[in-house]
Every structure is written in structure tokens, then in C-alpha cells.
Amino acid sequence: MNGRMKQFKYFDKIIPNSALPYVHDYLQITCSINNAFRSPYVHDYSDDIDIAKLMLDRKNKINLLEDKLANKTFLKAKSWKRMEGESTALTSPLLSKEDIKRITMGIFQIKQALSYVNEHIDEAAHYEV
């Protein structure tokens, strides 16, 4: 929803504190316009039952990442460094859209990821990681 709201000129930048008394009204109007004239976020509900069953099956499954985090074996002094998107893309696994849907249990994260990429990519198709 954040990406859709930022398409409106008023919401695409920082809103001053002096406008706080009016932001709720503006937000309601903007959301109403979105609901009336834009397509819904989710179009396909056919997998909902299967996704719910998969979630219930995985609920009690051992989480290896959680165990690793609990052991704190990863804690070392690390520093962040700037990287170009092209240099990291080759080491990332190539996943199909269906693989991502299976991992994330739905399509919301995929749409959210596309919106996130569009916000962080420049005109020359460079993506800063």
C-alpha cells in the first residue's frame, strides 16, 4: 500500500508536522480513490486453502535459522560496505516466481519486492545493495 500512496504527489515526500491534523483526512480520501479506481492487491485466491494447510504443517517444524540465532555462533565484528547490485546478483540463487511463491507462501511478498526494487533502482538500472 505504501507504494501506491507514494504515487500521489502529496504523499511522495516527507509531510510536515504542521499538516498532521489533516493527514488522516487526506489519507482516507487517497485510499478511497485507490479502492475505487485501482485493481485490488490480490487477484487470485485459489491457493488460500493450500497455503493455510502448508502453514499449519510447518508450524511445529524445527527452524534451523532460529537455532543458529539462539546459539549466537554468527556474532562477530562485522562492518557494512557498499556494493553494486551487479556484483551480488551472480551469487544469488536463481528462483522462479513459483519457487518464491512456495517459499513465501503467497504472492504478497513478491508484489512488495517488486515495489521495493522500483523504489531503489535508478534510471541506468543500477541497484545499490
Q: Please report, in tens digits, the pLDDT of each residue of the chain (129 residues total).
A: 677 888 888 888 889 999 999 999 999 999 899 888 888 776 667 778 888 888 898 888 888 888 777 877 666 666 777 776 666 666 667 888 788 777 777 666 777 777 777 777 777 777 665
Is residue 94, in this structure, part of any structural domain at all? no
Is residue 6, in this structure, part of any structural domain at all? yes
Q: For residues 4 and 35, what is the distance between their CA atoms, to the nearest angstrom?
A: 11
Is residue 61, in this structure, part of any structural domain at all? no
Q: Which of 43, 23, 129 is closest to 11 using CA atoms? A: 23
Is residue 29, in this structure, part of any structural domain at all? yes
**Amino acid 118: pLDDT:** 75
Is residue 21, in this structure, part of any structural domain at all? yes
**Amino acid 108: pLDDT:** 62
Is residue 26, in this structure, part of any structural domain at all? yes
**Amino acid 28: pLDDT:** 93
Q: What is the tally of structural domains in the chain?
A: 1
Is residue 2, in this structure, part of any structural domain at all? yes
Grid coordinates given for 115: 515495489
**Amino acid 91: pLDDT:** 65
Domain around 32: 1-38
